[in-house]
Amino acid sequence: MEQIELSKNLARVQELAKALRITPLFERLVDLKKEGLLVNPKFSFEELVIDLLENVKASRENKKVNTLLKTMDIHHPTACINSIRWDVGRTGITSREVTEYNTCDWIRAKQSMIFIGPTGAGKTYLADCLAVSAITAGFKVFYRRAPYFLAEIKDITSAAQMRDFYKSMQSYDLIYLDDFGTGALTEQNQAILAELADKCFGKVSFLLTSQNDVKSWLNNYFIDADIGEAFCDRIYKPAIKFHINGPSLREAQVKITTQTTSTNEVPSEVPVVPSQSPITSSEGTTCTTKRKRGRPRKTELTTENIETLSGAGTSGTGGIDGTVPPGGTDGIVPKVPHEEA
Task: Give the largest Cα separation in the chain, rounded.
Answer: 80
pLDDT score of 242:
96
Beta bridge partners of 116: 210, 243
Select from 162, 317, 170, 292 the least CA-distant residue to 233: 292
The pLDDT score that the predictor gives to residue 323 is 33
**Calpha distance 12→19 (Å, rounded):** 11
- Select from 3.10.250.10, 3.40.50.300, 1.10.10.920, 3.30.565.10 the CATH code of 73-310: 3.40.50.300
Q: What is residue 53's predicted lDDT score, i.e. its pLDDT?
A: 82
Q: Give residue 3's pLDDT.
A: 58
Q: What was the pLDDT predicted at 259? A: 47
Predicted local distance difference test score (pLDDT) of residue 46: 79
Coil/strand/helix, residue 187: helix
CA nearest neighbour of 141 among 218, 59, 74, 94: 74
Q: pLDDT tens across 55-106, in order? A: 788 878 888 888 888 878 888 888 999 888 887 788 899 999 999 999 999 9
Q: What is the pLDDT of residue 120?
A: 86
Q: Is 70 exposed, middle or buried (0-12, 13-18, 19+ CB in 10 A)?
A: exposed
What per-residue confidence (pLDDT) applies to 328?
A: 39
Q: DSSP letters along 272-338, please? A: -PPPPPPP--SS-PPP--PPPSSPPPP----TTTHHHHHT-SB-TTS--SS---TT---S-----SS
DSSP SS3 for 134: helix
CB 275 within 8 A of CB 99: yes
What's the pLDDT score for residue 283? 34
Domain boundaries, the chain: 8-66, 73-310
d(CA 152, CA 146): 10
| Closest residue by Cα to residue 130 from 118, 109, 147, 115 | 115
172 vs 292: CA distance, rounded Å? 19
Q: How far is CA 298 from CA 228, 231, 303, in A?
A: 12, 10, 16
Give the pLDDT confidence score for residue 312 in this predicted structure: 46
Quote the pLDDT of residue 71: 79
What pLDDT does residue 37 have? 62
pLDDT at 39: 66
Measured in degrees and rounded to the nearest 5, phi and psi for residue 12 equal -65, -40
Structure confidence at residue 331 (pLDDT): 36
Burial of 2 (0-12, 13-18, 19+ CB in 10 A): exposed
pLDDT at 33: 76
Per-10-residue mean pLDDT for the chain, 341 residues long? 69 87 80 71 72 80 83 86 84 93 96 94 93 93 95 90 96 97 91 96 97 94 94 96 84 49 42 34 34 41 44 44 36 42 49
pLDDT at 83: 87
